[in-house]
Structure 1
Amino acid sequence: MRRAVLLFLALMVVLSTLLGLRLVRERRAAEGPPGGSGVVEGTTVDVRSRLNARVLQLHVEEGARVEKGTLLASLDCTEPEALLAEAEARLAMARAQAQAAEATALASLRASEASSAQAAGTEAQREALAAQQGLATRQAERMEQMGEATTVAARDQARAQADALNQQLAASKHTSAAAGRQARAAAQQERASREQASAAAQGTQAAEASLRRARLSVAECELRAPQAGTVETLVLEEGELALPGTVLARLVDTRRPRATFYLPNAELAAARPEQRATVRADAYPEHTFSARVITVAHQAEFTPRNVQTRSDRDRLVYPVEVRIEDPEGLLRPGMPVDITLDPGREAVAERRR
């Protein structure tokens, strides 16, 4: 009986000691800087295919570290390359047609200018003949009025000269009208040639756009890393068909990892963007990582249905995301870490008081 009492007392002492130690630890944790536990997350990027083509060759393996621009996979580019050759040929033909149309337009312009000059010269000649014909007609009329004062031969010669100039003027009018119609036709031909040259130039632009699109398709036959990181997964194997939008590889960048932990409602005021933090990982107990707060959530999670009492308010938690500085790449996605917010100047001064 006495031994049982001693064992009971010893057990009570042990339990009291453990409870006291736990209370001390909880008090120290409450008095210490706020923080929490989180999981390391990397920046994940999916490399997708834009073509309907087979995987020709994989140039990396899963787990490989790659830099930005590293060739990850090559696709079968037979059809895109054929389309590229066709686009190049169409562009060469369009450029030749544009040059020919431009030369035709220039020739039409010169012909129109010559026709206009010829029409202007013909019109000037007609006006000169009209003036001569009018003068000759008046001269013949004056000689007719002179009667016996002049000879019959002189009167006949003046009348004949007036009649000849009248016929020449009529012919000149027809020639001038024909030259005017020819000039107008040449001007219309010149406008049509300019429109054809403009259409040929637009055809060249369309061919150039088709060539750029074909080159982009050929460039998509080589899938390269959009950023530095680690190849987490290769979804397709060589020989498999990649459809547009299919994920071929998944990259994870762990050089600037992130982690999210949760702060209770009572400690939320201690977190703010750009605040420094310290991160510790179980895998590296002797090593600490610097971090910086990038976001503090404005909305609580794990919210009770009815928040009425102070204890209920203390159950509210807010996610806080930090960016961890890990230039050596020691941390891995999914690795658990402990995050502690560094106290600010105001908190340090308050503790010293």
Structure 2
Amino acid sequence: MRRAVVLFVVLVGALGALLGFRILRDRRAAEGPSGGSGVVEGTAVDVRARINARVVARHVEEGARVDKGALLVTLDCTEQEAGLAETEARLAMARAQADAARAGALAAGRNSEAVAAQATGSQAQIASLADQQGLAQRQADRMEKLGTATTEAALDHARAQAASLEQQLTAARHSSTAAGRQARAAVEQERASQQQAESARRSVEAAEATLRRARISVSECELHAPMSGTVETLVLEPGELALPGAVVARLVDTRRPKATFYLPNAELASAWPGQEATVRADAYPDRTFPARVVTVAREAAFTPRNVQTRSDRDRLVYPVEVHIDAPDGLLLPGMPVEISLSDASTRAVAEQR
């Protein structure tokens, strides 16, 4: 009986000591800096296909470290290359047609100038013939008034010369009318040729745009790394079909690790963007990594239906993201870490600065 009492007393004492230790540890934790647990994350980028093509070759393997611009995957580009060749041929044909149209417009312009000059010459010829015909007619009239003072032959010659000049003047006027119509037709032809040349130029621009699009399609047959990082996954094997928008590879940049932890509502005032923090990882128990708070969420990650009671408010937690300053490759995605924020008194010093 006495032994049972002693064992009971020892058990009660041990439980009391354990409870006191836990209460002391919780009190110290509450009095210590705010923080929490998180998991290391990297900046992940998905490399997606933009065309419908089969995978021809993979040039890297999962887990490989690649630099920005490194070739990751090659897709079958037979159809795109054929389209590019066709587009180049159409562009060459459009340029030839544009050259011919420009030459036609130039010839039409010169023809219009020649016809206009001809019409101007016809007008000058009409004026000259009109002067000559008038002079001949007046000469014939004077000789007719002289009567017997002139010979009949001279009078007939003067009349014939005046009549001939009248006929020439009439013919010149008809020729001038025709030349004017030809000049107007030449102007219209020149305008039509210029419009054809402009249309041909636009066709060349459209063909050049189509060529640029075809070249972009061909360039999409080779998928390159958009940043330096580690190849986390390669989704497709050679021979599999890549659909537009489908993920082909995923890269993770481990040079800028980050982590997210959650602060309860009562400790939210102890965190602010730009605040310094300390990170500890289980893989490096004797080492700490400096970090800095990047964002403090404005909305709680968990919101009860109502927050009328104190216990409900204590259940509110807010995500806090920190960026960690660690050498590349030490903190890998998925590693659990403990994050401790700097003392709240440093906020006043930072605000004073």
Q: TM-score, normalised by structure 2?
A: 0.93
Between the aligned partners of 2:134 and 2:277, the Cα distance in structure 1 is 110
2:50 is matched with which residue?
Answer: 50
1:232 is matched with which residue?
Answer: 232
Deviation per residue, 1:249-304 (Å, 9 max, x gap): 12222221221111111111111112221111111112222222221111113223
Secondary structure, aligned partner of 1:45: strand
Between the aligned partners of 2:347 and 2:272, the Cα distance in structure 1 is 13
2:208 is matched with which residue?
Answer: 208
> 1:110 is matched by which residue type in structure 2?
R
Q: Closer, same or farther in 2 for the Cα pair 1:33/1:81, shift >3 Å?
A: same
Between the aligned partners of 1:288 and 1:153, the Cα distance in structure 2 is 135
Out of 337-346 and 59-68, give the one that drifted further.
337-346
Between the aligned partners of 2:52 and 2:193, the Cα distance in structure 1 is 43
2:66 is matched with which residue?
Answer: 66
Q: Closer, same or farther in 2 for the Cα pair 1:243/1:311, shift >3 Å?
A: closer
Deviation per residue, 1:166-189 (Å, 9 max, x gap): 111011011111211222222222
Aligned length: 349
Where in structure 2 are the equivalents of 1:1-353 lying within 5 Å? 1-148=1-148, 150-346=150-346
Q: TM-score, normalised by structure 1?
A: 0.93
Q: Which runs of 5+ in 1 are unaligned?
A: none
Q: Which runs of 5+ in 2 are unaligned?
A: none
Between the aligned partners of 1:60 and 1:273, the Cα distance in structure 2 is 38
Between the aligned partners of 1:106 and 1:57, the Cα distance in structure 2 is 54
Deviation per residue, 1:23-71 (Å, 9 max, x gap): 1111111111111111112222221212222111111111111111111
**Deviation at 1:237?**
0.8
Between the aligned partners of 2:298 and 2:165, the Cα distance in structure 1 is 104
**Deviation at 1:146?**
4.2
> 2:177 is matched by which residue type in structure 1?
A
Between the aligned partners of 1:214 and 1:346, the Cα distance in structure 2 is 58
Q: Closer, same or farther in 2 for the Cα pair 1:244/1:312, shift >3 Å?
A: closer
Out of 216-225 and 295-304, give the one that drifted further.
295-304
**Deviation at 1:309?**
2.7
Deviation per residue, 1:121-145 (Å, 9 max, x gap): 1111112212222233233334434
> 2:41 is matched by which residue type in structure 1?
E
Q: Closer, same or farther in 2 for the Cα pair 1:263/1:142, shift >3 Å?
A: same
Aligned-pair identity (%): 70
Q: Closer, same or farther in 2 for the Cα pair 1:171/1:347, shift >3 Å?
A: closer
**Deviation at 1:341?**
1.2
Q: Closer, same or farther in 2 for the Cα pair 1:269/1:151, shift >3 Å?
A: same
Secondary structure, aligned partner of 1:236: coil
Secondary structure, aligned partner of 1:38: strand
Indicate conservation of the 8 Å contact 2:275/2:347, yes or no.
Answer: no
Deviation per residue, 1:89-138 (Å, 9 max, x gap): 22112112211211121111111111111111111111221222223323
Deviation per residue, 1:198-221 (Å, 9 max, x gap): 111111111111211111111111
**Deviation at 1:151?**
4.4
